[in-house]
Structure 1
């Protein structure tokens, strides 16, 4: 039904109803296909990581527990958050103010947990490279499990505090019926920016820079040893490869994280309130969520065991007796 002005409303019987989102059919179909593909890949890639680490016993290591937690948070992004945003591209929000607020609470919790997991992974790699002799005593499965639990618990409490006003008064940011909008005040946005972006990225950059320096130092020491023994400079090739690998990994982690989250935090950086609308395919929101699709590529595809486990999963070898004891690490 349409009003006298020819504008279709979410609730035609209400004068305070929002206008129904409209987009050209071709453009809408392209958006649906693109976003659905991203959501599907996010779920599939992270599900492969979860199955791999959960099924194969040899992969039950502290490092992989952190990867598992990261994959779970990213899986939830593709399974819960992305589909809702896809559904409401051309549809009004009919689930009410309470579910609207809860959706954003879950959104923020999952996103915070994902970022926190990335920090834990960088700390784990820092200890493994910079203090390898004490790694097995400092990083245990028990401690990894505790850190993962704290990561999720802290994300829940932090986000509840940040969205406390919206939980007490659901729909406070909506300007009309049929809308699902949450406006984060500038102060709350600054707090979010500091604890969910600046501090994590600073920790990640500092630790990976340290890892890079140590890796290069170890490679040069190895080259000197080889040159002293053989009188040749064949180790230079090894040094070059290790330097490039360390630099590439560091660059991918930092650049992808910044690329995905900078647009979302731009309003806060510009001194403005952050407005998030569930019924629109906002570029900055999807770009931040797209990081969940890239994480399994960055953190898992670099591991040979993941490629081998994917092969075993896709060929249904995991259903064979004793497959969980397969040798994945060489």
Structure 2
């Protein structure tokens, strides 16, 4: 989503008739070429990138390197780590570039489609992988007798493949609505420097955003919350832990649910605001700019924090991380 077009809609149309040079005209409608918060956001993103890239890479390395770690549960973690790496490695640089140079969009129509398709796919894949992992944990704890028959490696691979295919299919509608948009000609001239990658038929986009918010945030949030609640109740009821541990058995599950909601809620609020605010005042624009920055930070933070939440909570992963990290450091040297 490019915030420049929102700023264009918020600008009074009468000012377009003032005799301005091209730079002033573009700045009037699309805002500054470089975001005023580029530097602090860039530093924040770089920290998130380093932590997330290291954590997800180590997760992949541990699962691929050690056969004992190649369990159905860890296959979901591997898929989640791959989607998170794609978000960090491909999504973050594109967003930073857009903040550094809001316009023009240099990759053309095909690049606009590819960028949107990739971003939507990895977003959906991350959410579906987290949900599938929650279902697998629920089956393992609440229905342990079914684990050998239901959560096999082959089954996990089929589910993961289905999740990625579903993510790609669900990314198509939003992708098809995007394209390169330019400001209309003024003063007898065109403005190719105003080209940005943006949605074209907004009414259909608004419907898609509403549907994806329900099915890729509210519904997964509900499923994850209910499943982890049932897991906590089962552990508490059967007293598989000591009394102290049983009392805190809701802790990790509560953290996972809270982090999922905290990281993904701003992302969907950002998209809903852009979709359903028809008349943009200066105040609306300022609020949206802050929401847009916060949503980006928490969105990428989700990809960086997943290895900590899902892997470092496991004793076996902690045991495997250290030698794998040492081997990686020795190869770098």
Q: Decide: shared fold, TM above 0.5.
A: yes
User: 1:248, CA displacement in angstroms?
Assistant: 1.3
Does 2:218 correspond to 1:202? no
Which of 284, 291, 302 pairs up with 2:295?
284
Rounded to whole Å, the distance in 2 between the matches of 1:56 and 1:128 is 22
Secondary structure, counterpart of 1:21 in structure 2: coil
Secondary structure, counterpart of 1:54 in structure 2: helix
User: 8 Å contact 1:261–1:287 — kept in the other structure?
Assistant: yes
Does 2:202 correspond to 1:190? no
User: 1:281, CA displacement in angstroms?
Assistant: 6.8
Rounded to whole Å, the distance in 1 between the matches of 2:75 and 2:258 is 24
Extract unaligned runs of 5+ from structure 1: 223-234, 321-330
Change (3 A) 1:110 1:271: closer
Change (3 A) 1:251 1:160: same
User: 1:186, CA displacement in angstroms?
Assistant: 2.4
Rounded to whole Å, the distance in 2 between the matches of 1:271 and 1:21 is 20
Describe how 1:7-46 pairs up with structure 2 within 5 A. Answer: 8=23, 18=30, 20-23=32-35, 28-46=38-56
Change (3 A) 1:32 1:281: farther
| Equivalent residue number for residue 215 of structure 1 | 235
User: 1:32, CA displacement in angstroms?
Assistant: 1.8
Change (3 A) 1:8 1:271: closer
Rounded to whole Å, the distance in 1 between the matches of 2:80 and 2:91 is 16
After TM superposition, the score normalised by the length of structure 2 is 0.77
After TM superposition, the score normalised by the length of structure 1 is 0.78
Which of 144, 147, 150 pairs up with 2:156?
144
Does 2:276 correspond to 1:273? yes
| Equivalent residue number for residue 106 of structure 2 | 94
Does 2:322 correspond to 1:311? yes
User: 1:216, CA displacement in angstroms?
Assistant: 0.4
Change (3 A) 1:6 1:173: closer
Secondary structure, counterpart of 2:100 in structure 1: coil
Change (3 A) 1:17 1:267: closer
| Equivalent residue number for residue 284 of structure 2 | none
Question: How many residues end up aligned between the 2 structures?
Answer: 290
| Equivalent residue number for residue 240 of structure 1 | 244
- What do the CA deviations read for 1:272-303 (whole angstroms, capped 9, x no partner)? 4389x9xx973213322321111111111101
User: 1:87, CA displacement in angstroms?
Assistant: 2.2
- What do the CA deviations read for 1:161-191 (whole angstroms, capped 9, x no partner)? 343332xxx2259887232334673211111
Extract unaligned runs of 5+ from structure 2: 1-18, 185-190, 279-287
